[in-house]
Amino acid sequence: MEAMELYRQWLTDFANDPDTVADLKAIENDPKEIEDRFYRELEFGTAGMRGVLGAGTNRLNIYNVRRVTRAMAKYILTTPDGAQRGVAIGYDSRNMSDVFAKQAALVLAASGVKAFLFESLRPVPVLSFTIRHLNCIAGIVITASHNPKQYNGYKAYWTDGGQMPPESVKGITDRLPETTYAESLPMDEQEALDKGLLTYIGKDVDDAYIAAVKKLSVNPELAREMGKTLKIVYTPLHGSGNLPVRRIFREIGMENVYVVPEQELPDGNFPTVKVPNPEDPGAFELALKMQKELGADLCVGTDPDCDRVGIACMTENGPRLLNGNQIGCVLLHYILSQKKERGELPENAAAVTTIVSTNMAAAIAKSYGVKMIEVLTGFKYIAEQIHLFETTGCNTFMFGFEESFGYLSGTDVRDKDGVNACMLIAEAASWYKKMYNKTLVDAIDMLYEQYGYYGDKVTSFVLPGKDGLEKMQTVMKALRENPPKMFAGKKVVALRDYQTGVRTEGDQTEKLTLPKSNVLYFELEDDAWICVRPSGTEPKIKLYVNAVSRSSEETKEILNALSDDAVKTLESI
């Protein structure tokens, strides 16, 4: 059906919904906007679905939330005990998150599937924990993570607490075409409660989650000792981290935690930042100002769903932010060094990171005799490795991270965990202050001295709308058909094409072991590399550049030259 025809059908089908009608009437003279809202259905994949809020098939709204939940319920009803085990549902501070979460719960109830709904907002890792804790068949989180305020999303999880695997996603997508808006209706809330199909959950699960995180403390005695003097500024960036992060700081002994007042309370409009993303230095502006005024050792920020964490440390030249790779390497080194010193490092210890994260992590792991496993981008792949370790006993999971500010050191949660990471960051900061009178900025510099000056640079090309999707496909196709042989004077040693599953080096080819994915990875001379991949959750292509040398200045020069050349290559396409 054409976009304009679908537009008119929505005006008819939802004529009794004044908000939807008003939203659609506002664009009646904007054919481009109508085309963008109706040229496709919002895609449901392994990361769930994410989109701009509004009326339309290509927007996130109660009707699309209801319909995909109804399709999920149909699939769950085909699984043994699925309806009885039920679905755990959480949500963050974004606009409409609470509404979508309740709608999802009541559609499940109407389908005969039990729903366990948090009575207020919670971080993503708490939901992941809850699935396992309550032995649910699945989970849903309403969040768009760190996206701008106009977005929201619907993340789907499966029984192990990790994001939904491909076979379960297929079970839902196969049922979507046959699922109509008309059949995807919610049950009355009181009826659902009376029938035991809706249960509200809260403090008991929170307590169990915090206890599980505290078990991951590497050096609890040190945290209690240094917590009396270490000063921390924290910002939840108007999100769901405020209560659990402050609680974990308090319970491990951090006595001097100061919360940025303007960003403390939940607010889906995120009025103090352009984007609520700890990867963006602008998100730390108020926190850094407060850090400077207090002379705090450490500044910590979490995104709205509290799965990502960013940090800054005070230096002689003012606060300095660390990037995701730097934080990951500092935490990895802290965990491995302390476990080894305490005689707690297992012989089969393993860490997991992604193909677009720094090679420095592998160098650190190797120095401790720890296996480093690389997976595709997305924490679900790290969760898959944890499941593999658990079921086969081949390795013991120590730490997992991705360069986009996501970290995890335990197995009770199967997604990146901002609360877990905040605890480890506070511990690591305590250790460096006590042992060396150094900050975590000094810590990464010490690691560079030991392992080499690894550097990384990420550039994003935002390509929204139908045209953007076509441009992304054009770029990837052109790079495959005519791959560059050199970047900034550095020869391409090998090309990994994760879509075809083949690595090519000269005339030699070998099969890649990771799942198929639309990613191109150029291995360069001198342990440098460039990776190009369309984002799985946003309308953008991401360009990753990494390099290493024996000095900070040389690495910066190499990075800038490689990045400039790669950017020109993509822009020319």
| CA 222 – CA 318 distance, rounded (Å) | 26
Phi-psi region of 378 (alpha: psi -120 to 50; beta: other; left: phi over 0): left
> How far out from the chain centre does Cα 5 lie?
36
d(CA 168, CA 156): 10
Residue 549 known to be catalytic: no
Q: In angstroms, rounded to a whole number, what is the distance separating the alpha carbons of residues 210 and 162?
A: 19
Alpha helix positions (H), 93-219: 97-110, 124-133, 166-173, 189-194, 203-214
93, 97, 111, 145: the catalytic one is 145
Sheet-wide strand order for 406-408: 371-375, 349-354, 396-402, 406-408
CA distance linking residue 13 with residue 210, whole number of Å? 46
Q: For residue 49, which of 57, 38, 60 has the smallest C-alpha distance?
A: 60
What is the distance between the alpha carbons of residues 377 and 403, in angstroms, rounded to a whole number?
Answer: 9
Name residue 336's amino acid: L
Which are the contacts of 336, defined by CB distance < 8 A and separation ≥ 6?
345, 349, 351, 364, 365, 368, 370, 398, 399
Helix (H) or strand (E) holding 292: helix 285-294
Q: Is 523 exposed, middle or buried (0-12, 13-18, 19+ CB in 10 A)?
A: middle
Q: How far is CA 396 from the centre of its chain?
A: 23
Annotated catalytic sites, by residue? 145
